[in-house]
Amino acid sequence: MPVSLARDAGMLSVAVLCGGSSPEREVSLAGGKRVADALGRLGYNATVLDLNRESVGQLLAMAPDLVYNALHGVQGEDGCVAGLLDILGLACTHSHVAASSVGMDKVLTKHVLKSLGIDFPKFDVLTKEELLSAKEVLPYPFVIKPVRGGSTIGVHAIFSKSEYLDLSAHADTLEDRMIVEEYVSGQEVQTAVFLGRAIGTMELLFEGRIYSYDAKYVEGLCEHIFPANLPHDIYSLTLEWALKLHQCLGCKTLSRVDFRYDVANKALKLLEINTHPGMTVSSTLPEVLWLRCGLNFDHVVDLIVQDALGIDDSRRAYIDELMGKTVSREPSHV
């Protein structure tokens, strides 16, 4: 692979920004620690910073060569931190303000999808008060989720009127603006985009109606299948749509795009994009890069750093070379 910047240019300092105050704090801390450990093994001088009011002063005092944005949720993943770092004159990883902000907002993302001709579930947007007082929303079943949020926190699958009436008992999990979306029955799949390439699509097998927080982060509750067991044309469509959305939003370096495939109706629906994919031990993007390209976690982190600093133009050709060598890992089923 391209030579690590840490080895090629001497010791470079990287501040790993994680934690924060969003509901996804614990996921961010786990991913941030894993990234920092990888940076240390690679030879970088990595420092973990838990985002708080003191972070600006700490970053200015450190003056790191790069800030690795390992934050999730509001403030960290929605473009706020990216904009702050830009004002401070500090280079950072992942997508910048516009792509992060639009990608975090499920309603804005759906408007982009419509302009691109990409299919997505029918939806409506309601305030918390409207949602709790409405007599009818969408035909059952439907899913309620925060307009801006991730890790399936605050997401509810509603299959009956009684379940809808019970929603008031979970009012504390609802945000001020919620999206109500038709429930798409079928296969849950995720596509990894990395360094301008749609790498591959993974299928997720789990118990229950939705890919829950526990299914994502509790070992043994979800089986990962790669490549996803999809018809060849549908598999190709996941790659096409994921890359098209990534490019349209102007995403940087990496993203993960989530889909549901309705087997009965042979319909693929794009659910959302994640411009800051997870980097925990159960995260799918690093796993796809390993299974499709043979890149271990440390190599993935190193390439993210290289891309953020804009050094070593060989990295995209390197990904192409790896994908060419492992083309047999693409699905052969029809």
Alpha-carbon distance values, 202 to 40, 150, 183, 225 (Å): 29, 19, 20, 6
How is residue 37 written in tokens? Answer: 């450990």
Backbone angles phi, psi at 202, to 5 degrees: -110, 145
The distance from CA 179 to its chain's CA centroid, rounded to whole angstroms, is: 18
Sheet arrangement for strand 197-206: 222-225, 197-206, 187-194, 254-262, 267-274
Nearest to 291 by CA among 318, 329, 247, 250: 329
- Residue 175 appears among annotated catalytic residues: no
Nearest to 205 by CA among 224, 190, 184, 230: 224
E-strand spans in 163-264? Answer: 177-182, 187-194, 197-206, 222-225, 254-262
The response to whether 274 counts as a known ligand-binding position is: yes
Which parts of 43-198 fold into alpha helices (H)? 55-62, 80-88, 97-104, 106-116, 128-133, 161-165
Nearest to 92 by CA among 305, 313, 275: 305
Do the bridges between strand 142-146 and strand 123-127 make them parallel or antiparallel, or are there none, so unpaired? unpaired
**Catalytic residue (choose from 151, 203, 255, 287):** 151
**Catalytic residue (choose from 77, 255, 283, 287):** 283
**Catalytic residue (choose from 24, 77, 181, 188):** 24
- Residue 283 appears among annotated catalytic residues: yes
DSSP 331: -
The response to whether 265 counts as a known ligand-binding position is: no
The response to whether 287 counts as a known ligand-binding position is: no
On the CB side of 55, CA atoms within 13 Å amount to: 22
Q: Which of the residues are catalytic?
A: 24, 151, 283
Question: Residues within the annotated binding site?
Answer: 258, 272, 274
Q: Annotated binding site for Mg(2+): which residue ranges?
A: 258, 272, 274
